[in-house]
A and B are shown apart, each in its own frame.
Chain A
């Protein structure tokens, strides 16, 4: 797919975003849910299908095409993305990469159709960034497994139809090799989803804790049909997910820039639009330059991933730089709005709260720094 091929797709997404998604943002922030008709439009447009291979009913986009699509789609509030991002990303990709044929046939078509939302259950009360220390267990019992443990801050949990759950199958092995992934369907006895958590932003995307209490799953629920694969699968989808998050941040940055510039050109003080004051121009210029840098970085890394190169360092850099960038831009967007930027009536107040999460979830900025430095040192050693 080249530039000419992608433009009609981007036009289609832009239109949906401008005409339907952006106008509903304030209401979604107030009511903490995305109306069904909008989810229906997203589903009909095929937004749930972008990363699923064509043979399973998806669009099978390259990573480059995906990030271009996300740049457009994420001009709308990130809550919308949450529905499709996790499902296509860590949830769906784990099945694409390492699922058995039966698992792919069972789940991928309904994921691509937008009928099945997937939650990824890794984080626990006692294990976040240190994911390998997870304590949820899966004990073999006859042909199946029995899961016990708690998972924290699980995106989409209240609406998910499928949970990809990381659990320790070998209690003796404290390393990654002791962890397996399970595909647990909603409604399985022993699986409990708590009421949605009250959050700072991204209020249309529900997050909840999930508990497994003697939750019995069949042997076919083991992802890939092999124990000990869970963590390896998770690591494989991480580079992919980090580039995706970089693209999300770039999309939101472009939206914040539009809001900031529009306000600066409209708002008049001292007899002229504030955009004519150089200190305001400085904030717009810094934001534009950083946005362009983040965008270029994400696009380049996506192309490298498509070419089969190792992108672990670059992907972590995308997530790190783009999320820090969107946060600085969100702060400036509020600053340019002055008092209005602190009021619930403006889009930037809401997007500022939404943006805060991006530096935290799917790997904090600090963890990204560790990954970048580790990879850089590895490269250095290899050339010695």
Chain B
């Protein structure tokens, strides 16, 4: 089985981001970028499938500017076999990404597409679901465990009430939650070898995907600054403040 993993280049999770002065977005100049952490979990899961013999090829796909190649290299260093970069400077919305991934799936015919449940930059949590709808494939979102048996997959999902296990037919879409696995560290020899693995370059145009925007960003603002706390003398004063000033009880 071929496994396709979608990997997104996002601001590194350690970076304290700043909103641009004109409030049109986040300032990305000189900011460290890395692979979306949920996508790292997706890569790790695909690699474990390959090591277990369930998968025989792992392909990492990234969509966006030329530097997304570095994100693909990270996946290759972890152990993915080859990469596909769909190069575009356009502003990407989840529907664009889902349509591009569908076009790649049509070409590659994988048995499984595995994606992070969301990216830590826009927190959309839409791409996997949209891709499943476009392909007409079953989907197991927020996965915390994946098991294969008799040509089907049991996907355990983290839902509000606890854990839900679905039996899904292949091919299928899985989106990963945090507890699915702990991604490995790419070893130094593998980072060096990743440079020699192939990355195919494509464009949305060549894949026949229309990149016209469907969304307009009106305004991006920082959360309000946290106010200093106050020390209350007793319970009565606390209740009074909660009722009359905070209005929460």
The interface of chain A, by Cβ under 8 A from chain B, is 5, 8-9, 11-13, 15-16, 41, 44-47, 49-50, 59
Closest to B184 in A: A44
B173-214 vs A, Cβ < 8 Å mask (1 yes, 0 no): 000000000001111110110110000000000000000000
Complexed CA–CA distance, A204 and B77 (Å): 30
- Identify which of residues 53-105 in chain B touch chain A, using a CB-to-CB cut-off of 8 Å: 70, 73-74, 77
Complexed CA–CA distance, A45 and B187 (Å): 4
Residues of A within 8 A of B186 (CB): 12
Residues of B within 8 A of A5 (CB): 195
* 12 residue pairs A–B, Cβ–Cβ below 8 Å: A8-B74, A8-B77, A8-B194, A12-B186, A12-B187, A12-B188, A16-B185, A45-B188, A46-B188, A49-B188, A59-B188, A59-B192
- Is A15 within 8 A of B185, CB to CB? yes
Query: Which 6 residue pairs of A and B lie closest in terms of their CB atoms, listed nearest first?
Result: A46-B188, A46-B187, A46-B189, A8-B191, A45-B187, A12-B186
Closest to B73 in A: A8
Complexed CA–CA distance, A59 and B192 (Å): 9
Sample of 10 more A-B contacts, CB < 8 Å, known A46-B188, A47-B188: A8-B77, A9-B191, A12-B185, A12-B187, A16-B185, A44-B187, A46-B189, A49-B188, A59-B189, A59-B192
Number of interface residues of B (CB under 8 A): 15
How far apart are B197's CB and chain A's nearest CB, in angstroms?
Answer: 13
Contact count A vs B, C-beta below 8 Å: 37
B14-54 vs A, Cβ < 8 Å mask (1 yes, 0 no): 00000000000000000000100000000000000000000
B117-143 vs A, Cβ < 8 Å mask (1 yes, 0 no): 000000000000000000000000000
How far apart are B30's CB and chain A's nearest CB, in angstroms?
Answer: 14
Residues of A within 8 A of B192 (CB): 9, 59
How far apart are B45's CB and chain A's nearest CB, in angstroms?
Answer: 19
Closest to B188 in A: A46
Complexed CA–CA distance, A203 and B189 (Å): 29
Residues of B within 8 A of A49 (CB): 188-189
Complexed CA–CA distance, A41 and B187 (Å): 9
Q: A9-B191, A12-B191 are in contact. Are A45 and B74 (CB under 8 A)?
A: no
Complexed CA–CA distance, A12 and B35 (Å): 12
Q: A8-B73, A8-B77, A12-B77 are in contact. Are A44 and B185 (CB under 8 A)?
A: yes
Complexed CA–CA distance, A40 and B70 (Å): 27
How far apart are B43's CB and chain A's nearest CB, in angstroms?
Answer: 14
- Is A45 within 8 A of B185, CB to CB? yes
Residues of B within 8 A of A15 (CB): 185
Closest to A11 in B: B34
Complexed CA–CA distance, A15 and B183 (Å): 12
How far apart are B62's CB and chain A's nearest CB, in angstroms?
Answer: 15
Complexed CA–CA distance, A45 and B191 (Å): 10
How far apart are A28's CB and chain B's nearest CB, in angstroms?
Answer: 19
Complexed CA–CA distance, A15 and B34 (Å): 11
